[in-house]
A and B are shown apart, each in its own frame.
Chain A
Amino acid sequence: MKTTSALTLAAVLLATTAPLNAETLRWARSGDALTLDPHAQNEGPTHTIRHQMYEPLIIRDISGAFEAALATDWAPKADDPNIWVFNLREGVTFHDGAAFTAEDVVFSFERAKQPNSDMKELIGSITEVRAVGDFSVEIVTDGPNPILPSNLTNLFIMDKDWTEANNTVDVQDFEGGELTFATTNVNGTGPYVLQSREPDVKTVMVRNDAYWGIDQFPMEVTEIIYTPIQNAATRVAAMLSGEIDFLQDMPVQDLERVNAVDGLIVKQAPQNRVIFFGMNQGADDLESDNIDGANPLADVRVRQAMSMAINRDAIRQVVMRGQSEPAGMIAPPFVNGWTAEMDAESSTDVEAAKALLAEAGYADGFSIRLDCPNDRYVNDEGICQAAVGMLGQIGITVNLDAKPKAQHFPLISGGQTDFYMLGWGVPTYDSEYVFNFLVHSRESEIGTWNATGFSDADLDLMIQSLASNTDLEARNADIATIWRTVQDEQLYIPIHHQVLNWGMSERVGIEVDPEDQPKIKYFTMN
C-alpha cells in the first residue's frame, strides 16, 4: 500500500515537473487571424494567435501588469528622458535555432515603422532604435514618452537573418493582396511552433521545447488546435459535445446551459471595453431631430438628463442577463486615471431628469435618431432598444436605426450621426489613449473617433502634453482634471463595462484575460 502511494506521488511529481504526456488543447472562437505577418495588421484575434509563437519585449499578465518577455528590465535613461533602455533576455533562440540579439530588436522596430505596417501608429513617437551591446537597446523618442512600454506589448520581434534570407523584410502589403513568406511561416521566439495553417479552417501549433521559459511557465499544453467556428449555436454545440476544450466568444444566452453541463465551466472577468452613447453637441442644428434652429444636445443639462434617464441596472439584468458592470466613466477599472467615484457617477432619476430637461427649455421633449450597431458588441441592439424606452419616459422620442457595423462605423468617422453607440477598449491601460481618440478635437491624426463635435483648445493642449510629461504625479493630476471636465460636461453617456466569458473544460486551468488574448503558455491541463 505504502509503495503504491509513494509511486503515485512520484508519478504526480514527475508529471508536474516535467509534463511528458501529450496534451492537446482544442480551442475555438468566432474568427481567425487575418495574417501571420507580425506587423501587417493590428487586430485582436490576429495578435492572439501571434502571441503563441512570437514575442514582444514586454507582455501583460492577467491583471494587466507588465511582465518581462524578451526584455528583462527597462527604464528611461537617467540622463536623457527621451531615451528608454531595454535590457534583453540572454540565451533565447528562435524556432529555427538562431540566437536572439539586440540586432533583431532594432530590425523589428524598423520593420514595424514601414508604411505598410499597421503597427506604425503605436510607435509613431519613436525616432530611433539602436543596439548598445548584444543584449541592450536604446529607444529614442521625439520627446519624453512616459508610457512607451504600454505601446510595445503587441510589437513582435522577428529574426533579422531569417527575414532577410526569406525575402520578407518588407511588411506584407495586406490591402494589395501581397503574400509574403512571413504571411504563412513563423519563426518566433515564442512558446509554440507553427505546424500547419489553413486560413479560416485550422491552425495547429506544437510546443517549443527549446523555449526559454519552459521551466517558468506551466507549458502543459503540447499541441494547440485552433479552429474558428462562426455560427454561435455550432460553437456552443462543439463545446457541449466535447469537441472543444476552450471557447472564446461565448454567446451570453448559452452561459447557463454550458455551466450546467458536468465537466464544463464558464469563467468571467470584466473586459477591457466600455459601451457608451455619443452625442453631437458641437453642431448648431441637428439633422435627425425635430427642433429647428437649435441643438438640444448642445445644452449640458439635456445630456445630463439623458444620462439620468438610463437605468443601467435594468439593462444589466434584462438585456445583458447579468453580464455587464454599470459604468459611470468610459474607462475600465484597470486603466490609469480610473476612479471608483467617477465610475459610480451614473444614477437613475427620472423625475430629476424631467426637471433638468424642462429647465433647459425642452419640457415637451424632442425626437432624435439613435444609430446603433447590431453585430459588434454584446447585445448592442438590445441595449439601444432599452435606451429608447427609458428616454421615452422623459419625453425624448428616439428613433432607433440599428445596422451592421460595416454601415454603422462609417457614420461615426464621417460625422453623419447625432446620437450613436460606441464601445472602447484601452490597450495601453492609460487614459491618454482614451483622450487621444475620444476627447481631443477631431483632426486628421488625433481625435479621430470623437464624433461629438466637442472641442476645447485648452483641454487639447493638456491632452497633448500628456505624451511627454515624465513627472508622473503631475501627469496623473492632469489626467484627473481632464476626466473631471469630461464628466462635468457629460461628454458621453457611459452604459457599462462588458464582461468577458470563456468557456472551458474543467481540465483546463486558466483565468480570463481582460484583453481577450489568452496566452496558452499559462494554461494548465489536468
Chain B
Amino acid sequence: MLAYIIRRVVQSALVLLIVGLAAFSMFRFVGDPIENMLGQERTTVDIERLRDQLGLDEPFIVQYVKFLEGAVQGNFGVSYRQGRPVSDILVERAPATLELATVSCVLAIAFGIAFGVFTAIRRDGFLANFIMSTSLIGVSLPTFLIGILLIYIFSVELGWLPSFGRGETVQIGNWSTGFLTASGLKALILPSITLGLYQMTLIMRLVRSEMLEVLRQDYIRFARARGLKNRTINFRHALKNTMVPVITVIGLQLGSIIAFAIITETVFQWPGVGLLFINAVQFVDIPVMAAYLMLISVMFVAINLIVDILYFFIDPRLRVDRAGGH
C-alpha cells in the first residue's frame, strides 16, 4: 500500500520533470525576448549585456536546471515583460482565475445535473428535446465564438452586462474578490457561462445517460410497483446512484476548467493567470510561461494522483491485483 503510493508519487515527479523539459525546449522556438525588452534605440552592446544578464546564451539544459533550482524554492524568476517576480504576479492573478473557475464549475454542475435529470425523466418531451439539441450547439461552437456572441448580444446590443474586466474588486488580504460588489458579480456572468458551457453540456449528457440506465434497473421498477411517489423514486433512489461516476468526472473537469480559462480570459480581458500566459507567449516572457506550465501540470498530476489513491481505497480489486491474486 505505502509502496504503491510512493511509486505513484515518484512517477508523478518524473512526469513533471519531463513536461518541464519539453516546455523549456519549446521556448527556443517562440522567439527572442531581447528585441521585445529593449526599445528601438538599443545598441548591439545593450543586446549582448541583456542576453548575458538573463543567461539566455547558456544551453537550455543549464537554463532548465537553474529554473528547477529556483522553482523548488518557490522562486520562479522575474517576468521579462513586467519586470516583477513571477511568484508575486501569480499570487496577484490567481484569485481572478479561481473565482471564475469556481463560478463556472458551480453553474456547470447545477445546470448540468438539473438539465440531465430533466431530460432523462421527460425523455420525449418537447422541452427536453430542445435542451438536448441546443446543447449540441454548445459543444460544437468554439469557446471564443461563444464569448464574442455573448458579448455581442448582452453587452453591445442589450447593454446589460460588461464586455470586459472584473468590475470593482475588494481586497481581502492578498485575495482580491469580485464577489462582494454588484459590478463584480455582473462581470462574472458572461465569462463564467462561456467557460462553464462545455462542462455543463458534458455533465448534462453524462447525468442523462446514467439516469436512463438507472431508471431501467429492477429496483426502480419495484419501487414504482410499491407505489412510491415519482419524486422520491427519481431523486432519492435514482439520482443517488447516478452520481457516483458523475462526481469522478466533475473532479477531473475542475482541472481542465482552470487550464481552459486561457481562451475565456483572453476574450473577456479577465485578469487571471490564463490572460497572463497569453501575454507571456506574445512577449516571449519565458519565466512566466515556464511557471504557468509547471503549475498547470502540477495541478493535473496532483488530481490524478489523488484519484488513483482514492481508487485504491475504494476498489478492493486493485489491492487483490497487487497481491498477485490472479
Contacts and interface: CB of A to CB of B under 8 A. Distances in A.
Contacts of A200: 82, 271, 275-276, 279
Interface string B19-55: 0000000000011111111111111111100100110
Contacts of B117: none
A198 B282 contact: no
Nearest to B160: A241
Interface stretch (B119-127, B151-159, B246-254, B302-310): B151-159
Contacts of B155: 237-238, 241, 243
Given A231-B267, A409-B32, A201 B165 contact: yes
Interface string A159-176: 000000000000010111
A177 B279 contact: no
A230 B278 contact: yes
Contacts of B47: 413
Nearest to B47: A413
A122 B163 contact: no
Contact of B266 (A231, A242, A375, A448): A231
Interface residues of A, number: 53
Interface residues of B, number: 54
Interface string A422-447: 00110000000000010000011110
A487 B50 CA distance: 35
A234 B269 contact: yes
A41 interface: yes
Contacts of A41: 39
B167 to A, nearest CB: 10
A114 interface: no
A141 interface: no
A319 interface: no
6 contacts: A35-B82, A175-B53, A179-B85, A198-B92, A404-B31, A448-B43
A307 B80 CA distance: 39
A238 B163 contact: yes
A242 B266 CA distance: 20
Contact of A444 (B39, B45, B269): B45
Nearest to B77: A177
B88 to A, nearest CB: 8
B279 A230 contact: yes
A444 B47 CA distance: 10
B83 A375 contact: no
A176 B269 contact: no
B8 interface: no
A175 B37 contact: yes
Interface string A229-247: 1110110011011110000
Given A231-B266, A405-B36, A175 B83 contact: yes
B215 interface: no
A410 B35 contact: yes
B162 interface: yes
A403 B40 CA distance: 19
B151 to A, nearest CB: 5
B156 A448 contact: no
Contacts of B31: 403-407, 410
A200 to B, nearest CB: 6
Given A231-B266, A234-B164, A34 B32 contact: no
B79 interface: yes
Contact of A406 (B30, B44, B79): B30
Contact of A448 (B36, B44, B77): B44
A199 B84 CA distance: 10
B131 interface: no
Interface of B: 30-47, 50, 53-54, 77-85, 92, 148, 151-152, 155-156, 159, 162-166, 266-269, 271, 275-276, 278-279, 282-284
Contacts of B84: 177, 179, 199
Contacts of A174: 37, 83
Nearest to B89: A199
Given A177-B77, A227-B164, A233 B148 contact: yes
Complex A-B, nearest 8 residue pairs according to Cβ-Cβ distance, in ascending order: A177-B78, A406-B31, A42-B39, A409-B35, A174-B83, A407-B31, A410-B32, A241-B155
Interface in A167-221: 172, 174-179, 183, 198-202
Contacts of A446: 43
Contacts of A405: 31, 35-36
A402 interface: no
B33 A406 contact: yes
A94 interface: no
Interface in A444-461: 444-446, 448-449
B27 to A, nearest CB: 11
B51 to A, nearest CB: 10
Contacts of B282: 375, 404, 406
A118 interface: yes
Contacts of B163: 234, 237-238, 241, 243
Contacts of A202: 165
Contact of B82 (A34, A375, A407): A34
B156 A241 contact: yes
A477 B282 CA distance: 43
Given A175-B83, A177-B77, 6 more contacts: A121-B42, A175-B80, A200-B276, A241-B155, A404-B282, A409-B35
A40 interface: yes
A198 B40 contact: no
A215 to B, nearest CB: 34
B271 A229 contact: no
A234 B151 contact: yes
Nearest to A121: B41
Nearest to A184: B84
B33 to A, nearest CB: 7
A406 B30 CA distance: 7
B275 to A, nearest CB: 7
Contacts of B83: 34-35, 40, 172, 174-175, 177-179, 183
Contact of B162 (A172, A177, A243, A375): A243
A142 interface: no
A198 B275 CA distance: 14
A229 B275 CA distance: 11
A506 interface: no
Given A241-B156, A241-B159, A177 B39 contact: no
Nearest to A442: B44
Contacts of A238: 155, 163-164
A240 B148 CA distance: 13
Contacts of A176: 53, 78
A349 interface: no
B155 to A, nearest CB: 4
B41 A177 contact: no
A445 B79 contact: no
